[in-house]
Chain A
Amino acid sequence: MTRYLMPKLGADMTQGRLVQWCKKPGEKIERGETIAVIETDKVNVDAESFVTGVLEKILVEPRDDWLPVGTPLAVIRVDGEAPEETETAPAPMPTAAAAPPATPATAVHAAVPPAGAEAAMARLRISPAARKRVLDLGLDPARLEGSGPGGRITLEDVERTAAAAPAPAPAPASAAPAPAVAAATDRQARMRDAIATAMARSKREIPHYYLATTVDMANALAWLDTRNRERPVTERLLQGVLLVKATALALREVPELNGFWLDGRPQKSEAIHVGVAISLRGGGLVAPALHDADKASLDDLMRRLQELAQRARALSLRSSEMTDPTVTITSLGERGVESVFGIIYPPQLALVGFGKVVERPWVVAGEVKPRPVVVATLCGDHRATDGHRGALFLAAVDRLLQEPEKL
């Protein structure tokens, strides 16, 4: 049995509101399928299940009050497990006759990590993906057994432990909302609180360094103009898509900027999930993920960006979009300012910024010419990288944008 807990959907989330169950007791649920709608301080999130199984019992009905991250919400019987009753009662029972909320055989799923989990894992041989998963699931690292080379703990080991391990203690009291937060009923105020929490943590913990370079956009914009001219309005690309793709490809060249700072160490991510900062009407912002942005075509990225922006504006996102970004891009768009130096969204390692494209005198082959240019910036975590590597990254972004047809 696995307990489904109030998930932590980002560094800034301490509490959530259960809006709706999307599955009924006894219903089958696939990994990645939406199990419930959870309201965070920022948006409504379609919370996706981390396991495949059957929703055994609902512990909490949708309600108006805010529940701390880690609050048990439901019990899921993971595929392969017998219904709980067969262990204690000989007569077969319908699956709807569910387990009590906190049986010893109940494992935890989507919780805050137990205190010290990050530190405990620093001593383990464990893959970065498995490490992140442990923290997401709130597992006790001491329960993990490695089956990989040299006893290394793999993602599969974590999933197996998650499905089988006894539950750790309920969420620590520190995860409870601060009175000031609970009192702020209005979403705007809660949004500001959430941003304040994450950004203050970032500035407190992350020693940022900042780099900037000016990129000639003449080739990229000319290519975009030609391409868009041949297409109907529904198939046109925005320049932001070129910036996302160039960033994702440049991260392949300087992978140490892509990933997380966890338990005192940088954890590079092989997957490049680009969080795109989307400002919300009425204030505030979210930065949901464009998954595997380095592998996606420009058309595909455009379609997904459009859909993501629409859902972000409608305040409805998926949990994987909230928790998966390995890097964030902020672009102040076409009417903004010339450059932006942001604040890294913890526990990410870098934030990439683009100002607006402006026409400036530029020297091309010894002659001064008017050219469209954009200032690309990088905010890096100095614990993980140095300015030298950061500079190589920005140089790669520049180089990639000179050949837009290859993006």
Chain B
Amino acid sequence: MTLAPEEIRTRIVAALANVAPELEPATLAPNVDFRDQLDLDSMDFLNFAIGLSKTFGVDVPEADYRKLSTLDGCVAYFTARATA
């Protein structure tokens, strides 16, 4: 069974909040690179990727990191891969 889009979005935002605790989900722009919006460095982004792979049970290859740089990108990526 696939996950509902809202559930996918919620899990992504939760993984993001783990590396950027001051994040306000309401102000998150869906198309802007997280690293620019939230001032994430490479370590933060790695931890975000680790959080995503845990919450969705999917390993994320390094080559796919660029697809995960925005909220929309993440939702599309995990909609295609994650199952409940």
Interface residues of A (CB under 8 A from B): 225, 228-229, 232-234, 236, 238-240, 279, 281-282, 305-306, 309-310, 333-335
Which candidate, B1-9, B54-62, B73-81, is the interface stretch facing chain A?
Answer: B54-62
Partner of A282, one of B22, B36, B41, B63: B22
For A279, list chain B residues within 8 Å (CB). 41
Chain A proximity mask over B32-60: 1 for CB below 8 Å, otherwise 0: 00011001011100110110010000011
CA distance A310 to B19 in the complex (A): 9
* CB of A400 to closest CB in B, whole Å: 21
- A-B contact list, 26 entries, CB within 8 Å: A225-B62, A228-B62, A229-B61, A229-B62, A232-B53, A233-B46, A233-B53, A233-B59, A233-B62, A234-B50, A234-B53, A236-B62, A238-B42, A238-B43, A239-B42, A240-B43, A279-B41, A281-B21, A281-B22, A281-B39, A305-B43, A306-B43, A310-B47, A333-B41, A335-B35, A335-B41
For A310, list chain B residues within 8 Å (CB). 47
For B46, list chain A residues within 8 Å (CB). 233, 236, 238, 306
Is B14 an interface residue, CB under 8 A from the partner? no
CA distance A333 to B41 in the complex (A): 7
CA distance A338 to B20 in the complex (A): 25
For A232, list chain B residues within 8 Å (CB). 53, 59
By the criterion CB–CB under 8 Å, are A233 and B41 in contact? Answer: no
Interface centre among B41, B42, B47 (most CB of A within 10 A): B41
* CB of B56 to closest CB in A, whole Å: 11
* CB of A43 to closest CB in B, whole Å: 15
* CB of B77 to closest CB in A, whole Å: 14
Can you name the residue of chain B whose Cβ is closest to the Cβ of A281? B22
CB-CB under 8 A for A306 and B47, given A229-B61, A233-B53: yes
> Could you tell me how many residues of chain B have their Cβ less than 8 Å away from some Cβ of chain A?
19
Partner of A240, one of B20, B42, B63: B42
* CB of A75 to closest CB in B, whole Å: 39
By the criterion CB–CB under 8 Å, are A233 and B60 in contact? Answer: yes
* CB of B27 to closest CB in A, whole Å: 16
Q: Tally inter-chain residue pairs, CB-CB below 8 A.
A: 43
For B36, list chain A residues within 8 Å (CB). 335
By the criterion CB–CB under 8 Å, are B42 and A333 in contact? Answer: yes
By the criterion CB–CB under 8 Å, are A233 and B39 in contact? Answer: no
Can you name the residue of chain A whose Cβ is closest to the Cβ of B46? A238
Can you name the residue of chain B whose Cβ is closest to the Cβ of A240? B42
For B49, list chain A residues within 8 Å (CB). 233
CA distance A236 to B47 in the complex (A): 11
Additional 13 contacts, C-beta under 8 A, given A236-B62, A239-B42, A281-B20: A229-B61, A229-B62, A229-B63, A232-B53, A233-B49, A233-B59, A234-B50, A236-B46, A238-B43, A309-B43, A333-B41, A334-B42, A335-B35
By the criterion CB–CB under 8 Å, are B41 and A334 in contact? Answer: yes
For A229, list chain B residues within 8 Å (CB). 61-63
For A234, list chain B residues within 8 Å (CB). 50, 53
Can you name the residue of chain B whose Cβ is closest to the Cβ of A282? B22
CA distance A279 to B47 in the complex (A): 16
* CB of A320 to closest CB in B, whole Å: 21
CA distance A240 to B44 in the complex (A): 13
For B53, list chain A residues within 8 Å (CB). 232-234
Which 7 pairs from chain A and chain B are nearest by CB? A333-B41, A309-B43, A233-B53, A228-B62, A232-B59, A334-B42, A233-B49
Interface centre among B36, B43, B62 (most CB of A within 10 A): B43
CA distance A232 to B36 in the complex (A): 26
Interface centre among B35, B39, B62 (most CB of A within 10 A): B62
Can you name the residue of chain A whose Cβ is closest to the Cβ of B60? A233
By the criterion CB–CB under 8 Å, are B50 and A233 in contact? Answer: yes
CA distance A309 to B47 in the complex (A): 11
For A225, list chain B residues within 8 Å (CB). 62
* CB of A278 to closest CB in B, whole Å: 8
CA distance A130 to B24 in the complex (A): 50
CA distance A281 to B35 in the complex (A): 13
For A281, list chain B residues within 8 Å (CB). 20-22, 39
CA distance A310 to B59 in the complex (A): 22
CA distance A366 to B7 in the complex (A): 55
